[in-house]
Amino acid sequence: MTNWKELVEELNELVKLDSGIIACKRMAKKDGYMDIPGIEKPHKGFLYCQLPYLVRKQGKTIGVTKEDFEAYADKTQLKYRCVRIQGLAPADEKELDSEAKGFAGFWFKDYDTAMEQMKIYPAPTPIEALVMSPLEEEKFEPDYIMIYADGEQMTFILNGLQYHKYELIESCFIGEGSCADALPRSAATKKPSLSLPCLGERNFGLAGKEELILTIPPDRLERIVEGLKALKENGLAYPATPLEPAVNAGEMLQQLYPLQDS
């Protein structure tokens, strides 16, 4: 297993994160998921957007399946939506129709507009169990990693990710950043996904107004750390150094980017 604890410590030293990094395990079969050390079930009536807070702020290891949501799903028009998006329940026509009816006149003006959103959701592979745990506790090898950071921290993190091996980091807003644009989108594309916490996570998951979410395949974390170290050696270290707006930026650019032989 990768030394995740060491990588977490190095990243925190470089950008001073305000909450823990989340390891995510998407399990095709639920057999044995409750054998993970210290795993807990969330309270009845949970929402998915509450789970990251329990992990990153309270240090819990949480595991969920479709069955955990059955009693609640029978009492709401949204049915299994909260876990369906994660791949824990099928996205069949009946489910999507029910969800669109629940959103019509509330999040969207009518059923047709709501259904347009339903059609473009990411489609990660189906799973039977989802487990989240603090990455530094190394309870399992993660499939994906979630990092919560403010705008300045995230800028450094993304620049670090691009330093040794460039890749375009894309962001998306389907309307529910935490539920759809974070883990499900990364799981569907196998690429990093930068997203905004949705209103649900701001209300129920206590996401801060300054926070962004980066979900990455696990191999990207070492690239981030090594990239941040290289940037620091180049004089680009967190936090950014603010300069007066009236400073002569041209002279500074000449020092940072001197002419080189063509």
Summarize the confidence of residues 155-177 as an average pLDDT: 93
Q: Would the pLDDT of 25 be above 90?
A: yes
Give the pLDDT band of residue 1 (cuts 50, 70, 90).
confident
Instruction: Say if residue 189 is exposed, middle or buried (CB neighbours under 10 Å; 0-12, 13-18, 19+).
Output: middle
pLDDT at site 243: 77
The pTM of this model reads 0.94
pLDDT at site 47: 87
Instruction: Render pLDDT for 107-122 as a digit per residue (tens, 0 to 9).
Output: 999 999 999 999 898 9
Give the pLDDT band of residue 72 (cuts 50, 70, 90).
confident
Q: What is the pairing mode between strands 193-195 and 170-171?
A: parallel
pLDDT at site 70: 85
Give the pLDDT band of residue 252 (cuts 50, 70, 90).
confident
Please choose, from the candidates 27, 254, 262, 25, the residue with its C-alpha nearest in 3D space to the C-alpha of residue 137. Answer: 25
Domain residue extents for the chain: 4-233
Give the pLDDT band of residue 207 (cuts 50, 70, 90).
very high
Please choose, from the candidates 48, 9, 42, 53, the residue with its C-alpha nearest in 3D space to the C-alpha of residue 211. Answer: 53
Q: What percent of the chain has pLDDT over 70?
A: 100
Q: Would the pLDDT of 245 be above 90?
A: no
Instruction: Render pLDDT for 129-144 as a digit per residue (tens, 0 to 9).
Output: 999 999 999 999 999 9
Summarize the confidence of residues 73-101 as an average pLDDT: 91
pLDDT at site 200: 87
Alpha-carbon gap, residue 125 to 147, rounded angstroms: 22
Give the pLDDT band of residue 248 (cuts 50, 70, 90).
confident
